[in-house]
Amino acid sequence: MYRILAAALAVVLGAPTAARADGWPAPAAGLTRTGDPEVIFTFDDGPDPRTTERVLDTLKQHKIHAIFFMVGWRFQRGDADKSRLLVDRILDEGHVIANHTITHAQLCGLEPEGIDQEIAGARDILEREARMSIPWFRTPYGAHCNRLLESLGRNGLTHFHWDIDPQEWQGKSAKSTAAYVIKKLARLDGRAVLLMHDTKPATVAALPEILAWMQTENARRKSIGRRQIRVISGPELAAERARPTLEWLGKATSAARDQLAGVLSANVP
């Protein structure tokens, strides 16, 4: 079921969104639609058989569906078969897969041909492994330059930035990672995209602590009538972004149907 939904939504999610001249739009996933503080969980650089499974176990326990930005080289090495199994599990459990280049290159240091190769090449790899369209993309290091924007346009991809980065990829401990994220979520007002890395042991250890805190905090907020922190899933965000296009298609189809009915009735003797 999740694969069918994701494949259908991917058809209408390919057009890139406009970016500000000084960088990627903020907040990264737009404004809250509910008025609640909202968080979207995203994970970069996998899949890694040593750590991704444990991240998935934690997400499953808390019924959270995330977005996994994958690098293509994971499917070009000796344990590629394990990475393929993880792709199946990620999709079967309701998460979204997205493009994070082949080699995690600093794209703005490359010529246009190299940028295209990193982006389009990773998309080809991921679409082959996932057996579906992969319309979302995240640039490594948050790079932003005209050459990259032009490449995204040529490849029909949408960039997906972030708002909260605990920088556990720099070697920070699980304790400091969890503390940073909890501090940000406690003060969250609006919608934020959380960036973590399913390849890092610090993420594996910090994630259960973060989600346990959210569960306790939401229970406390509910008891005092305060807005709870709401998790926006990857599929939910995809549906939200697709809705205007789907509504337009529905109206266009309805209008075409009415027009056809009018033509037919006019030609009935």
265 in any annotated domain: no
CATH number of 117's domain: 3.20.20.370
Helix H or strand E encompassing 86: helix 80-92
Catalytic residue among 159, 197, 198, 258, which?
Answer: 197
Task: Give me the mean pLDDT over the 15-30 stretch.
Answer: 66
Residue 11 has a pLDDT of 43
Instruction: Please determine, for residue 269, whether its predicted confidence score (pLDDT) is greater than 60.
Output: no
Looking at residue 260, what is its pLDDT? 46
Beta pairing partners, 82: none
> Is 258 annotated in the active site?
no
> Does the structure show a pLDDT above 80 at 24?
yes
Q: Is the pLDDT of residue 131 over 70?
A: yes
Q: How confident is the model at residue 242 (pLDDT cuts 50, 70, 90)?
A: confident
pLDDT at 18: 38
Classify residue 255: in a domain, yes or no.
Answer: no
pLDDT beyond 60 at 17: no
Number of CB atoms found within 10 A of residue 168's CB: 24
Is residue 178 over pLDDT 60?
yes
Q: Is the pLDDT of residue 185 over 60?
A: yes
How many alpha carbons lie under 13 Å from residue 144 in its C-beta half-sphere?
A: 12
Look at residue 84 and tell me if it is in a domain: yes
Provide the pLDDT for residue 158.
84
Q: Is there a contact between 65 and 56 (Cβ–Cβ < 8 Å)?
A: no
Confidence (pLDDT) at 22: 52
In a domain, 148, yes or no: yes
CA 79, 85, 87, 90 dihedral sign is negative
What phi and psi, each to the nearest 5 degrees, are found at residue 170?
A: -90, 5
pLDDT per residue over 62-119, tens digit each?
999 999 999 999 999 888 999 999 999 999 999 999 999 999 999 999 999 999 999 9
Task: Please check the confidence at residue 154 and state whether its pLDDT lies above 70.
Answer: yes
Q: What six digits make up the tokens of 59?
A: 């997400």
Q: Which is catalytic among the residues 44, 45, 48, 198? A: 44
Q: Report the chain's mean pLDDT, rounded to a whole number.
A: 87
Q: Locate 229 and state its tokens.
A: 């922190």
Q: Is residue 230 part of a domain?
A: yes
The tens digit of pLDDT for each residue in 197-221 reads 999 999 999 999 999 999 999 999 9
pLDDT at 268 over 50: no
* Residue 213 amino acid letter: W
Domain assignment present for 269: no
Is the backbone peptide bond immediately before 112 cis, with ω within 30 degrees of 0? no
What does the alpha-carbon distance between residue 183 and residue 166 come to, in Å, rounded to a whole number? 10
* Residues 6 or more apart in contact with residue 12 via CB below 8 angstroms: 242, 245, 246, 249
* Mean pLDDT of all residues in 49-69: 97
Q: 258 in a domain, yes or no? A: no
- CA-to-CA distance for 10 and 8, rounded, in angstroms? 5
> Known catalytic residue: 104?
no
* pLDDT at residue 79 in the model: 87
Q: What pLDDT is stored for residue 53 in this prediction?
A: 97
In this prediction, residues 216-238 reach a mean pLDDT of: 96
Specify if 246 maps to a domain. Answer: no
Domain count, the chain: 1
Domain limits at 35? 2-15+24-238
